[in-house]
């Protein structure tokens, strides 16, 4: 099923490039390990990293500054929020992607084998704008640690719910709304994702330590209830207050608007 030829054999076949988005708050040790594995991919020419109010700013990190010299990389720094918001940070990252095809990964995901991307892109020509009518994502039913991976088309993106205060369910809610908006969209579960991506292990408490709601099960339940009881999708406005090369500083303002 998967592409088995070496990358050198692919020659000069035209390919659709991919944007990778990843966000973090105080998880730089994991990010520094994982980021290089995605930047090294030829099929990836755009990587958006959101540093969401980390105590130790990525921009000031010596090792990250060396990585930031890579022209594929854009750093978006948010500095005015008390708690982590995965939804806001992912929506922000998506706003700045230059490509139509976007791969969302977590800060502790390491690429082991990119052949599945080349299989979609070249062998089946499935990543072109005209034919990308599917979403591929991990699932907790097959691999809990890698359920956050998602490949989607920007034109089908339906935004994550920014009002959520804790961990969990924002991805499943977004997938559901994407499918409802586009009836021809095919949802594909990446059931063997661990063959291609690995996860840096960590304690469960790390998942919620930067959220307003710290209890994992309570957080997940509250998010589920919110998603099922609210139809309107809201986003919070922001401004780019500083821009220098591939570094941008973002400030959010209190106003929300309906999308």
pLDDT score at 163: 92
* Total structural domains within the chain: 1
Taking the chain (259 residues) in runs of 10, the rounded mean pLDDT of each run is: 39 72 91 95 96 93 94 95 93 96 95 90 58 81 86 92 88 92 88 93 75 81 92 94 95 92
Is 100 within a domain?
Answer: yes
118: in domain? yes
Q: What are phi and psi of 172, to 5 degrees?
A: -65, -35
In a domain, 228, yes or no: yes
Q: What is the DSSP string of 103-139?
A: EE--TTEEES--HHHHIIIIIS--SSTTT--EEEE--
Give pLDDT, residue 132. 61
pLDDT for position 13: 46
Res 124: pLDDT = 53
Return d(Cα 58, Cα 37) in angstroms, integer.
Answer: 18
Bridge partners, residue 19, by sequence: 46, 102
The parent domain of residue 107 ranges over 16-258
Domain annotation covers residue 5 = no
Q: In this predicted structure, what is the pLDDT of residue 3? A: 34
> What integer pLDDT is reported at residue 2 of this predicted model?
37
CATH number, domain of 160, equals 3.90.550.10
Q: What is the DSSP letter of 258?
A: E
Helices (H), 82-236: 86-95, 115-118, 170-181, 205-208, 216-229
Does residue 8 belong to any structural domain of this protein? Answer: no
pLDDT at 69: 93
Q: Is residue 136 part of a domain?
A: yes
pLDDT score for 131: 54
Has residue 24 been placed in a domain? yes
Answer for the pair 190, 149: CB distance below 8 angstroms, yes or no.
yes
1 part of a folded domain: no
Q: Cβ of 174: how many Cβ atoms within 10 Å? A: 25
Q: Which two tokens stand for residue 129?
A: 């704008």
């Amino acid at each position: 099923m998967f592409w088995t030829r070496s990358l050198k054999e692919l020659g000069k076949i035209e390919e659709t490039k991919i944007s990778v988005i990843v966000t973090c708050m105080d998880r730089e040790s994991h990010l520094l390990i994982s980021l290089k594995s995605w930047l090294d991919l030829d099929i990836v020419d755009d990587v958006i990293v959101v540093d969401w109010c980390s105590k130790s700013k990525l921009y000031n990190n010596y090792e990250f500054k060396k990585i930031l010299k890579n022209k594929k990389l854009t750093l978006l720094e948010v500095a005015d929020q008390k708690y982590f918001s995965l939804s806001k940070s992912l929506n922000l990252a998506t706003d700045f992607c230059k490509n139509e095809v976007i791969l969302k990964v977590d800060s502790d995901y390491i690429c082991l084998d990119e052949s599945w991307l080349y299989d979609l892109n070249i062998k089946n020509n499935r990543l072109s704008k005209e034919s990308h009518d599917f979403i591929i994502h991990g699932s907790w039913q097959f691999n809990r640690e890698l359920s956050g991976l998602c490949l989607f088309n920007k034109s089908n993106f339906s935004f994550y719910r920014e009002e959520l205060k804790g961990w969990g369910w924002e991805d499943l809610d977004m997938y559901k709304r994407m499918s409802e908006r586009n009836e021809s969209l095919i949802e594909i579960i990446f059931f063997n994702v661990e063959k291609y991506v690995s996860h840096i292990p960590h304690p469960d408490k790390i998942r919620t330590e930067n959220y307003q709601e710290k209890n994992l099960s309570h957080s997940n339940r509250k998010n589920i209830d919110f998603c099922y009881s609210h139809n309107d999708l809201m986003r919070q406005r922001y401004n780019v207050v500083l821009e220098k090369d591939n570094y941008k500083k973002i400030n959010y303002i209190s106003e929300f608007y309906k999308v």
